[in-house]
Amino acid sequence: MIKSKKLNIHKNSDVTYFTFPSFDQYAFIKHGFSTRLGGVSEGIYASMNLSFTVGDKKENVLENYRRFCNALGIDYKNLVLSSQTHGNAVRVVTKEDMGKGITKVRDYDHIDGLITNEPNLALVTHYADCVPLFFLDPEKKVVGVAHAGWKGTVGKIGEKMIDRFKDHYGSNPEDILVGIGPSIGVCCYEVSGDVIEQFKKLGPEDKKWWIDKRNDKYQIDLWGLNRTILERRGVKTNNITVTDICTRCNKEYLFSHRGHLGKRGGLAAVIQLNEILT
């Protein structure tokens, strides 16, 4: 089984998932990042596939969500799913969104980040190598989650999330906790020169986050780059937890688009603010 020095690993029945220790200290939230383990899907989707868009049976995906949410202590009917297009748009989620993408039709598109301060809304984004970003402001009681592929990283979706916390909820960036979850590591993430040209737009100081392998091939550290983007927006370094789990290196336990050559299911990041009793 996967081991980690940065994340907590949980097993509830057959469902295995990860949480961030810095988030776990707050009883008023529930969160988790899924693995492949504990679901009902078969074949290339085995077994905890949480993506409706890869060809799996809808009834299997729904059952997987029910099982995963039960493990987290969340009602799957409270889920609100993103509609990802590798952009940097962020949606403020309200009670009217409850169930969209899972039990109701979504009436939004091009959304890679979700944020809310309303309880019992479980925010969901999807992965199979891209970087999940979890957010918590324990002072203002606001949570969020964002999907940062290479395009979202170049588009500074982490920065967009912090700005939305500040502008919509009055958060102080220094109070915000961030978790950078399991995703493809610098060990396995090779790109060509045309992609690096997009990363160069971030600034010359970010060159340290990629390695020139020659022959127009580069390896990129998306974890370090997203952390830097967050730090520049005012998030404290000590408030950022960076994963030590690469999806491609652990394709037996995690779906990896590169590791499975595109024939795979999907993982999910989920976070919910609970009802706070005063």
CATH of the domain at 64: 3.60.140.10
Q: Quick one: average pLDDT of 68-90?
A: 98
DSSP state of 225: H
Does residue 47 have a cis bond before it (omega within 30 degrees)?
A: yes
Cβ atoms of residues 260 and 44 within 8 Å? yes
Cβ atoms of residues 45 and 264 within 8 Å? yes
Asked whether residue 52 is assigned to any structural domain, the reply reads: yes
What pLDDT is attached to residue 277?
A: 55
What pLDDT is attached to residue 276?
A: 72
Confidence band (pLDDT; 50, 70, 90) for 220?
Answer: very high
Asked whether residue 225 is assigned to any structural domain, the reply reads: no
Asked whether residue 208 is assigned to any structural domain, the reply reads: no
Asked whether residue 278 is assigned to any structural domain, the reply reads: no
How many whole angstroms separate alpha carbon 271 and alpha carbon 24? 11
Q: Quick one: average pLDDT of 9-37?
A: 97
Instruction: Flag whether pLDDT at 278 surpasses 60.
Output: no
- Average confidence score pLDDT of the chain: 97
Asked whether residue 202 is assigned to any structural domain, the reply reads: no
Asked whether residue 226 is assigned to any structural domain, the reply reads: no
pTM of the model: 0.98
How many domains are contained in the chain? 1
Length in residues, the chain: 278
pLDDT tens digit string along 108-162? Answer: 999 999 999 999 999 999 999 999 999 999 999 999 999 999 999 999 999 999 9
**List of E strands, 77-127:** 79-81, 90-92, 113-116, 122-127
Query: Coil, helix or strand for 17?
Result: strand
Domain extent at residue 30: 8-184+240-273
Asked whether residue 204 is assigned to any structural domain, the reply reads: no
Phi, psi values for residue 233, rounded to 5°: -90, 5
Asked whether residue 221 is assigned to any structural domain, the reply reads: no
Q: Could you tell me whether strands 79-81 and 122-127 are parallel, antiparallel, or unpaired per DSSP bridges? A: parallel
Cβ-based neighbours of 16, under 8 Å, separated by 6 or more: 1, 9, 10, 35, 37, 38, 253
What pLDDT is attached to residue 120?
A: 97
Cβ-based neighbours of 246, under 8 Å, separated by 6 or more: 182, 183, 184, 185, 187, 188
Instruction: Flag whether pLDDT at 201 surpasses 60.
Output: yes
